[in-house]
Structure 1
Amino acid sequence: MKVYIKNYGQSIEVEVSTEVGQFLDRARHKSENLFHEKRRHWDGREFDEYLIAHECSRSYYETPEDWLCHRETFREIITVLESCTPKQRQRFLLFALEGLSCSQIGNIYGCSKSAVLNSIEAVRKKAKHILQADSAK
């Protein structure tokens, strides 16, 4: 399998095994997902450093306070996803976790891009509402 690696702005063609090619493809996909997640900030919070640390190569040691905050955030996210319809949940997860575009998700489910966007926006609104209600307590 041939891959192209940029070295000082110059593209170099390298022959690698299929296994290495798949690894490089997964790494590229994860980088794209991180970029999309960072760009979205869909719930208005700061980008989660825990996610960056675990998806990137540097090590990260979680404090008990961090662990508790992440656990509470996880519960909030689960609450939001449980309040959604199955279609909304599936479409949102494909968008947020897998990094698929609205048109790609529409092709998977046989619906329009705007239907997917409406589902994603509905989940975002529910998330904002639930998170604002929790912060008001």
Structure 2
Amino acid sequence: MTEFTPFASLFGGALIGLSAVLLMAFNGRIAGMTGIVAGIIPPLETGWMWRAAFLAGAILAPALLVGAFGDTVGFDSPTPVAWLIAGGIIVGIGVQFGSGCTSGHGICGIARLSPRSIVATLTFMASTAATVFVIRHVLGGL
């Protein structure tokens, strides 16, 4: 069971929203993680340095918090690594067809009232709910 952490979750969500607003305000760019990652994979796009800095901050900030406070988040997955890799590939394909990822559509697109992003996010959420239902209740919790 996952522990309910309303204040940490609210603070984390506020920081994600703030980073999206600042990126849009200062660079005119949407904080979609797959687009940011794609921009630092060779051949490098123009503006790859801000993308690398954004990703470095996303990695270093939690590492600094762990170092400062000692709190860690445990991760244990009963899912075989091959399934995780296959799932990542499937999600990557979906990102290409959906013209963006959950962070781009769900955080930035909905905030801009983009109809395409609203439909995409509703599709993500419905697909997730259906997948969880099938895995837990139809297949018996693989």
TM-score with structure 2 setting the length: 0.32
Structure whose residues are more often strand by fraction: 1
The structure with higher relative contact order (CA 8 Å, sep 6+) is: 2
